[in-house]
Amino acid sequence: MKYVVLGGAALATLAAALLVGPAHLPLADLPGSAIVWQLRLPRAVLAFLVGGALGVAGTSLQALVRNPLADPFLLGLSGGAGLGAVAAIALHLPGPWALPLAAFVGAVGAMALVYRLGLVGGAELDPRILLLGGVAVGAFAGAITTAIVSLAQATELRNAFLWLWGGLSGASWTLVLVMLVYAPLPLAVLVAAARPLDLLALGEEPAQYLGADVRRLKRLVYLAASLLTAAAVAVAGVIGFVGLVVPHVCRLVWGRLHRTLLPTAFLTGGILLAVADTLARTVVAPRELPVGIVTALLGVPVFAFLLRRWTVS
C-alpha cells in the first residue's frame, strides 16, 4: 500500500515538474518542446535520483553510527568536495567534467581519511570516531579551501562555491546517466544490509551474537553510503537536510525495519528534492532559489509536525 502511495506521489511530482516552469508553454507544445526534454525532464529525474540517494545514505549512516544527528555531509564529505572544486578552478583544470570529478575525488579523499581515522582503535570501525573524525576532516578541508580562496587572486574561485551550493541548475541527461550507472551498486549493497542494520540497532555485541558480521557490515555500509553521497555532490553540489530529515520522517511513519525504511527513504527523498527543486525554480521567477533553502523550508515543518504527533501518541 505504502509503495502505491509513494509511487503515485513520485509520478505526480515528476508530472508537476514537467508542467510548471518559468517559461510559459501552452499544453499542446509540451510534447515537442526542447525546454521539456532537455531542461525540465533531466532536471526532475536528477533531483529525484539525488534526493533518493541522499535519503538512503542518511538512513544507513544514522543506523551505522547510531546517532540521530548523522547526516551524509556531516562525515567530512562536503568539506572534501569543496576543496576538490576549488582546487580544480585554482589549477585551471580544463573541460566540463573537471569540477564534478574534482569534487568527487575530494569527497572520496575525505571519506578515506575519516575511514582511516575510524580504524585507529584497532580493526573495528568506531562509530564515535567516525563522527568526530568526519567533523574534524570537514573543518580541516574547509580551512584549506578558505586559505586557497583568500590567497589566490582569482574571482573565478568564488564561483566554485556558487557551483558547490548551486543545486540542480546544471542538470542534463549526461548527469542522469552518470547517476543511473553509478548509484545502483551502492544502493544494492545498502539494501542487502537491511537485516544486519536492524540487528545493529540492538548494539554491536548483541548484533554479533545474533549472527551479523558487524565488522564487515560497518565497513561496507560506511563506504557505500559515502560513495553514494560523493556522487550526489558531484552531480548536484551540497544539498542539505534531505539526508537528515527523510530518514526520521520514514522511521516515524513506517517503522524501524530497514527492509521498508531504505526503499521508502529513497522514494521520500526523491519526492522531497523534486518538489523542492520545482518550487526553487518557480516561486521567485525569473530568479531562482538555492534548492537547499527549499528542502529545509519544506522538510523542517513536516518533521516538526510528525515529531509532535508521534511523541504525543
Per CB under 8 A, residues contacting another protein are 21-24, 34-35, 38-40, 42, 95-96, 99, 153, 159, 162-163, 166-167, 169-174, 281, 285-288, 290
- Cβ 299 to another protein shortest distance, Å: 21
The 10 Å CB-count burial string (b at 16+, else e) for 191-221 is bebbebbbbbeeebeebbeeebebeebbbbb
Q: How far is 237 from 97, CA to CA, in rounded Å?
A: 13
Of residues 48 and 266, the one with the C-beta less far from another protein: 48
Of residues 171 and 199, the one with the C-beta less far from another protein: 171
- Cβ 271 to another protein shortest distance, Å: 20
- Tell me the CB-side half-sphere exposure of residue 18, using CA atoms within 13 A: 19
Of residues 38 and 146, the one with the C-beta less far from another protein: 38
Length of the chain: 313
Instruction: Give me 47's grid cell.
Output: 533531483
The candidate with the shortest Cα–Cα distance to 37, out of 235, 234, 171, 236, is 171
Of residues 49 and 224, the one with the C-beta less far from another protein: 49
- Cβ 283 to another protein shortest distance, Å: 12
Q: How far is 191 from 258, CA to CA, in rounded Å?
A: 8
- Cβ 288 to another protein shortest distance, Å: 5
Cβ–Cβ < 8 Å for 157, 100: no
- Cβ 155 to another protein shortest distance, Å: 9
- Cβ 182 to another protein shortest distance, Å: 20
Of residues 94 and 211, the one with the C-beta less far from another protein: 94
Of residues 40 and 258, the one with the C-beta less far from another protein: 40
Q: Give, for 158, the enclosing helix (H) or strand (E).
A: helix 156-164
Instruction: Give me 263's grid cell.
Output: 526503499
